[in-house]
Amino acid sequence: MRKQIRYADFAIEEYEARVRRAGGAMAEAGLDALIVTEPANLRYLFGFQNMMQLSANRSFVGLLPREHFEEGTLFIPHDCQDAPSNWTTRDKQ
């Protein structure tokens, strides 16, 4: 089941469409997954935004599989667990 995003810029369907397009590009490039670390890309694909992302001392990582994109995972530092979430089904520390 999809999650609602607190403070989302767009409806979940928009993020799903973006990820489907990314999946097409991954297929063309022969990639099985994307590892996303750039804050702008985390926001674009996962709908995640947090000022803590700009800190050099914290790592935010999104893992986006080409197939079953709804199982994408966002790895968030433990001190940012109250941060706005993303639309995928799981968040991990």
And the tokens for 65?
């599989």
DSSP string for 39-87: HHHHHHHH----GGGG-TT---EEEEESSSGGG-EEE--GGGTTS---S
1, pLDDT greater than 50: no
Top mean-pLDDT range of 16-30, 45-59, 63-77: 16-30
CA 76 distance to own-chain centroid: 11
For domain 12-92, the CATH superfamily is: Creatinase/prolidase N-terminal domain (3.40.350.10)
Comparison of pLDDT for 53 and 83, the residue scoring more? 53
82, pLDDT greater than 50: yes
Q: What is the pLDDT of residues 6-51, one digit of tens each?
A: 556 788 888 889 999 999 999 999 999 999 988 889 889 888 776 6
